[in-house]
């Protein structure tokens, strides 16, 4: 199979992965490149030139590692502008005897997808949820059933066109074609959830530097997803302002000493930051550090809880909540998430990933591995070309294969 | 609660520089010149378009971005305007080199003004200059793209300047009847912007009988959650005081006075020609203050403008109430949703809807945003999430 290149221009770093799908369905990562991002804020590209430079370097490293020529990539898209909504398509059944055939299903699918978004928005994904016949209980596959009316709910992910276009242009700047764009949260979910978890209901929360993305599976379908423009950068910023220290130091103590829960006894109670050229010696009370981090993380998770409650997802989770992204490496984050969301929370790692290099199965690679997963699963194994019809994609996304 | 601020007898006058940036800002500055109030301060225009500069009546003209991507126009892209200003930052430094107060006029939503304004503000702040900004936001019919640029621009400007006042142009649509064409509408927008600049200039440059000063403006900016709304009324002849009040209260910018009824703090300034009487001033103040809520924090000031002949001008700056901020509107719809009305204290008018436009108010005092200072705020459920959580929750940290 032709290898696929995944590119995620994240807020803190840009990651490029080259992967091949093996016969047994596992993902072989043959090349990897990473570079600190520039010109990306809250998941959106604010300086295309800076972002393109980072992407170029990451892609070059990946290219050398995999020993391939890269000329097209699958790109991850995120940002607070991304939203999901449910759209419905309904049509009378064609056949006189009321037997539902494939044409009927395609027609409602087209009707549902023909939504008019606000003028400045573009659709990123449309994913089938459930069919229903004559307003009865929803079914997965109505073919062969009898009824007068068929309807279908689809979930659409959409974003602001100018921001999506900027991402495309950024990649095109370095003479790369964009093969496909995938919402980061969706990619992370594809990468970490098992088919069983998808069926029984699960949420993936990707704690990125610029954004917190989420996708929820409930009742056997993708129920909702979206992105909040709050992330690890906010934690760093809070620490910066709380202790009046420069950003680089704040980032460092966040990674080394940050905790999502506050305990009464912290050993040692204070941390002395060595004097650096131009910076005075700072003493940071570690308990206060934990208070600052806890307040921010709890708030972010509460915002996610609120979004999930809007579609009543939390009561229907059998598979739990999986945290991915760099933020999933924070100490006590799963404990905090469990107490905020009231369901068991775990760190989510990319599944079935093989690599000669260490660390690609860390939660921060979930999105990038998901991009590869998405591309291979939506591609027809025979022709190596993307499949035309959405049905197969839907099956993959829902974990039926 | 009236606060009469004692007028300090400083004879040293401040050196004021009035700068119009971009086409809209330049036109407004030209309006100040036309109104004959421009004596005693530098009036400058900054633009990327040499033709527009050539036609301007301003004393000082600064052409930025020549031979760069912005040559001849920024094409509606703030990045181009910004780059042009950065390229010619030396000229801007030169312009600001001998002034104490910068009054800037900018019509947000285009490329030059929206892009260059933050660069000029940054230069001014660096030089320790007090920065007062009058802005307009586009008409709804100018499209969501320009409105989005304007919203983001306003956020940046609000975070950087000492005082920002905003005139939502869209409110003028209801003020101009069907007989008024497009030209009249834009002329009216320029006129209001000019009046705002004029009133700011009077406040900081003229000795006032009852003084409000730059400190008062800054205090007002600090009381609200972002940019202040601005309204004015002017009249001459018999009964000019009350006519001016009427014009102010019935004008579209303050939504026929509705903005006043819901505000948290206000600054009222009465300016007049030499024959202005105590009665007129008193009547004007009581009429305007009567329209404000009882618990509103009010500052008042009067100034006499020797250059005028038989004229009275009443200007009001109002700050919204903090914590009544609604999130920025969802992209798409042309009209914006009004935030939930905080109950005005005056009972009989309690039906009045608040006039604060959600997207114009940002709970973002400068200095609490750290590294997020120059990018659009993350506002969710009425909170600015860029401000640290522990600060918003009022958590006191152990040392």
Same domain, B131 and B279: no
Using pLDDT thresholds of 50, 70 and 90, give the confidence band for residue A297. very high
User: Does pLDDT of A62 surpass 60?
Assistant: yes
Total Cβ atoms within 10 A of residue B72: 12
Question: Which pLDDT score, from 0 to 100, does residue B337 have?
Answer: 35
Question: Which pLDDT score, from 0 to 100, does residue A92 have?
Answer: 92
Contact B331 A285 (CB under 8 A): no
CA distance A162 to chain B (A): 9
Helix spans in A263-322 (H)? 286-310
Q: Which two tokens stand for residue B267?
A: 């600054």
Spatial distance between the Cα atoms of B197 and B39, rounded to a whole number of angstroms: 13
Q: Which two tokens stand for residue B370?
A: 């750290």
CATH number for the domain that contains residue B63: 3.40.50.1440
Residue B115 maps to a domain? yes
Question: Which pLDDT score, from 0 to 100, does residue B151 have?
Answer: 86
Of A42, A120, A291, the CB nearest to B397: A291
Q: Long-range contacts: B356-359, Cβ < 8 Å, 24+? A: B356/B229, B356/B259, B356/B262, B356/B263, B356/B320, B356/B321, B356/B324, B357/B168, B358/B325, B358/B326, B358/B327, B358/B328, B358/B329, B359/B151, B359/B328, B359/B329
**Bridge-based pairing state of the strands A40-41 and A353-355:** unpaired
Helix spans in A30-183 (H)? 48-66, 102-113, 161-173
A42 contact residues in B (CB cutoff 8 A): 375-376, 378
In this predicted model, which residue has the larger pLDDT, A136 or B57? A136
Question: Which pLDDT score, from 0 to 100, does residue A162 have?
Answer: 93
Nearest to A131, CA basis, from A139, A123, A119: A139
Please check whether residue B216 is in contact with residue B5, taking contact to mean a CB–CB distance below 8 angstroms. yes
Spatial distance between the Cα atoms of B189 and B172, rounded to a whole number of angstroms: 7
Chain B interface test: which of A236, A285, A298, A299 (most B C-beta within 10 Å): A299
Domain boundary among B144, B170, B205: B205
Question: Which pLDDT score, from 0 to 100, does residue B13 have?
Answer: 65
Residue B258 maps to a domain? yes
Q: Which two tokens stand for residue A259?
A: 């905790």
Contact B333 A118 (CB under 8 A): yes
Question: Which pLDDT score, from 0 to 100, does residue A257 have?
Answer: 92
- pLDDT tens, residue by residue, A156-167: 999 999 999 999
Q: Is the CA virtual torsion B73, B189, B283, B242 positive or negative?
A: positive
Of B333, B391, B398, the CB nearest to A285: B398
Contact A295 B386 (CB under 8 A): no
Chain B interface test: which of A122, A295, A309 (most B C-beta within 10 Å): A295
Residue B178: Cβ-neighbour burial (10 angstroms; 0-12, 13-18, 19+): exposed
A162 contact residues in B (CB cutoff 8 A): 145
Q: Is the CA virtual torsion B339, B340, B345, B348 positive or negative?
A: positive
Domain boundary among B270, B286, B319: B319
A260 contact residues in B (CB cutoff 8 A): none
CATH number for the domain that contains residue B292: 3.30.1330.20
Of B145, B368, B389, the CB nearest to A295: B389
Using pLDDT thresholds of 50, 70 and 90, give the confidence band for residue A400. very low
A228 contact residues in B (CB cutoff 8 A): 378, 380, 385
Nearest to A168, CA basis, from A178, A159, A158: A178
Using pLDDT thresholds of 50, 70 and 90, give the confidence band for residue A281. low
Spatial distance between the Cα atoms of B210 and B302, rounded to a whole number of angstroms: 5
B333 contact residues in A (CB cutoff 8 A): 118
Same domain, B93 and B159: yes
Residue B327 maps to a domain? no
Helix spans in A193-231 (H)? 195-200
Which residue in chain B is spatially nearest to A240 when comparing CA positions? B370
Of B368, B376, B399, the CB nearest to A241: B368
Cα–Cα separations (whole angstroms), residue B177 to B142, B172, B256: 19, 10, 15
Same domain, B19 and B78: yes
ipTM beyond cut 0.90? no
Cβ contacts below 8 Å, chain A against chain B, sum to 87
CA distance A312 to chain B (A): 19
Residue B66 maps to a domain? yes
Instruction: Over range A240-256, report the average pLDDT.
Output: 88
One pLDDT digit (tens) per residue for chain B, 399 residues = 333 333 444 445 678 888 999 888 888 887 776 544 445 678 888 988 888 888 887 778 888 888 776 666 777 888 888 888 888 888 888 888 888 889 999 989 888 889 999 999 988 888 888 888 999 888 888 888 888 888 888 888 888 888 888 888 887 776 555 456 777 777 778 888 888 888 888 777 776 777 676 777 777 877 766 778 888 888 888 788 888 888 888 877 777 777 787 788 888 888 888 888 888 888 888 888 888 887 788 888 888 877 777 888 888 888 876 533 333 333 333 333 333 333 333 333 333 333 332 223 333 333 566 778 777 888 887 788 888 998 888 888 887
Spatial distance between the Cα atoms of A174 and A35, rounded to a whole number of angstroms: 15
Which residue in chain B is spatially nearest to A40 when comparing CA positions? B375
- pLDDT tens, residue by residue, A78-102: 999 999 999 999 999 988 998 999 9
Nearest to A154, CA basis, from A105, A189, A120: A105
Contact A288 B398 (CB under 8 A): yes
Residue B238 maps to a domain? yes
Cα–Cα separations (whole angstroms), residue A229 to A251, B29, B368: 18, 38, 17
In this predicted model, which residue has the larger pLDDT, B4 or A251? A251
Question: Which pLDDT score, from 0 to 100, does residue A401 have?
Answer: 39
Task: Find the chain A residues whose C-beta atoms sit closer than 8 A to any C-beta of B.
Answer: 41-42, 46, 80-81, 118-121, 160, 162, 228-230, 233-234, 236-238, 240-242, 247, 285, 287-288, 291-292, 295-296, 298-299, 303, 306
Tally the domains of chain B: 2
- pLDDT tens, residue by residue, A298-353: 999 999 999 999 888 988 888 899 999 999 999 999 999 999 999 999 999 998 88
Please check whether residue A127 is in contact with residue A98, taking contact to mean a CB–CB distance below 8 angstroms. no
Spatial distance between the Cα atoms of A346 and A334, rounded to a whole number of angstroms: 6
B395 contact residues in A (CB cutoff 8 A): 291-292, 295
User: Does pLDDT of A390 surpass 50?
Assistant: no
Q: Where are the domains of chain A?
A: 83-157
Same domain, B96 and B157: yes
Question: Which pLDDT score, from 0 to 100, does residue B68 have?
Answer: 72
Please check whether residue B123 is in contact with residue B99, taking contact to mean a CB–CB distance below 8 angstroms. no
Q: Which two tokens stand for residue B313?
A: 């001008």
CATH class held by domain A83-157: alpha beta
Same domain, B150 and B288: no
Residue B331 maps to a domain? no
Chain A interface test: which of B77, B372, B389, B396 (most A C-beta within 10 Å): B389
CA distance B140 to chain A (A): 14
Structural domain of residue B287, as residue ranges?
231-319
């Amino acid at each position: 199979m032709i290898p696929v290149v995944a590119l995620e221009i994240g807020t803190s770093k840009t990651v490029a992965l080259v992967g091949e799908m093996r016969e047994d369905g596992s993902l072989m990562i043959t090349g990897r490149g990473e570079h600190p991002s520039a010109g990306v804020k809250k998941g959106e590209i604010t300086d295309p030139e800076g972002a393109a430079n980072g992407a170029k370097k990451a892609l070059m490293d990946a290219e050398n590692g995999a020993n391939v020529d890269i000329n097209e990539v699958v790109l991850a898209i995120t940002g607070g502008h991304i939203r999901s909504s449910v759209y419905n398509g309904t049509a009378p059944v064609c056949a006189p005897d009321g037997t539902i055939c494939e044409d009927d299903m395609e027609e409602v699918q087209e009707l549902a997808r023909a939504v008019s978004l606000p003028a400045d928005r573009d659709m990123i994904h449309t994913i089938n949820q459930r069919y229903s016949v004559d307003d009865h209980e929803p079914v997965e596959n109505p073919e062969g059933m009898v009824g007068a009316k068929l309807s279908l709910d689809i979930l659409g992910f959409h974003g602001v066109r100018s921001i999506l276009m900027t991402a495309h242009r950024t990649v095109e700047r370095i003479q790369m074609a964009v093969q496909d764009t995938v919402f980061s949260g969706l990619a992370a979910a594809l990468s970490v959830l098992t088919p069983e978890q998808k069926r029984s209901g699960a949420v993936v929360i990707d704690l990125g530097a610029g954004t917190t993305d989420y996708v929820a599976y409930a009742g056997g379908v993708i129920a909702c997803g979206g992105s909040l423009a709050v992330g690890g950068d906010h934690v760093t910023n809070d620490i910066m302002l709380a202790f009046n220290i420069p950003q680089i130091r704040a980032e460092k103590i966040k990674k080394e000493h940050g905790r999502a829960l506050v305990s009464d006894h912290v050993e040692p109670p204070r941390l002395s930051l060595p004097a650096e050229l131009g910076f005075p010696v700072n003493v940071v009370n570690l308990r206060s550090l934990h208070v600052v981090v806890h307040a921010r993380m709890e708030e972010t998770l509460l915002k996610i809880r609120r979004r999930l409650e809007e579609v009543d997802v939390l009561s229907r989770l059998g598979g739990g909540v999986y945290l991915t992204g760099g933020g999933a490496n924070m100490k006590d984050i799963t404990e905090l998430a469990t107490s905020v969301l009231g369901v068991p929370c775990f760190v989510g790692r990319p599944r079935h990933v093989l690599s000669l290099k260490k660390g690609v199965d860390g939660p921060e690679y979930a999105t990038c591995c998901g991009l590869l997963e998405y591309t291979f699963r939506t591609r027809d194994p025979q022709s190596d070309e993307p499949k035309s019809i959405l049905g197969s994609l839907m099956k993959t996304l829902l974990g039926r294969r | 609660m009236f606060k009469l601020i004692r007028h300090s007898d400083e004879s040293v006058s401040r050196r004021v520089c009035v700068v119009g940036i971009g086409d809209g800002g330049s036109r407004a500055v030209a309006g100040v010149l036309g109104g004959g109030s421009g004596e005693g301060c530098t009036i400058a225009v900054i633009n990327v378009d040499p033709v527009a500069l050539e036609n301007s009546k301003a004393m000082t003209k600064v052409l930025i971005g020549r031979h760069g991507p912005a040559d001849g126009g920024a094409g509606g892209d703030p990045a181009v305007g910004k780059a042009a200003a950065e390229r010619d930052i030396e000229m801007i430094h030169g312009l600001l080199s001998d002034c104490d107060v910068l009054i800037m006029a900018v019509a947000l939503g285009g490329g030059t003004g929206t892009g260059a304004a933050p660069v000029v503000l940054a230069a001014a702040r660096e030089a320790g200059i007090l920065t007062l900004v009058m802005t307009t936001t586009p008409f709804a019919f100018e499209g969501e793209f320009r409105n989005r640029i304007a919203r983001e621009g306003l956020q940046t400007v609000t975070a950087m300047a000492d005082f920002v006042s905003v005139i939502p142009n869209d409110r003028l649509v209801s003020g101009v009847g069907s007989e008024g064409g497009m030209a009249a509408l834009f002329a009216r927008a320029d006129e209001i912007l000019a009046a705002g600049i004029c009133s700011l200039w009077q406040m900081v440059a003229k000795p006032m009988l009852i003084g409000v000063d730059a400190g008062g403006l800054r205090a007002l900016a600090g009381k609200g959650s972002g940019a202040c709304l601005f309204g004015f009324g002017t009249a001459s002849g018999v009964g000019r005081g009350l006519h001016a009040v009427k014009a102010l209260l019935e004008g579209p910018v303050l939504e026929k006075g509705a903005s006043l009824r819901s505000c948290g703090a206000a600054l009222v300034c009465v300016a007049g020609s030499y024959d202005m009487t105590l009665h007129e001033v008193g009547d004007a103040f009581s009429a305007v203050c009567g329209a404000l809520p009882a618990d509103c924090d009010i500052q008042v000031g009067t100034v006499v403008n020797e250059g005028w002949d038989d004229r009275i001008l009443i200007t009001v700056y109002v700050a919204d109430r903090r914590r009544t901020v609604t999130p920025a509107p969802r992209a798409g719809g042309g009209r914006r949703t009004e935030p939930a009305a905080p109950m005005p204290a005056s009972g009989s008018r309690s039906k009045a809807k608040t006039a604060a436009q959600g997207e114009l108010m940002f709970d973002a005092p400068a200095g609490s945003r750290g590294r997020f200072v120059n990018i659009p705020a993350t506002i969710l459920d009425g909170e600015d999430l860029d401000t640290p959580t522990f600060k918003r929750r009022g958590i006191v940290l152990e040392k």
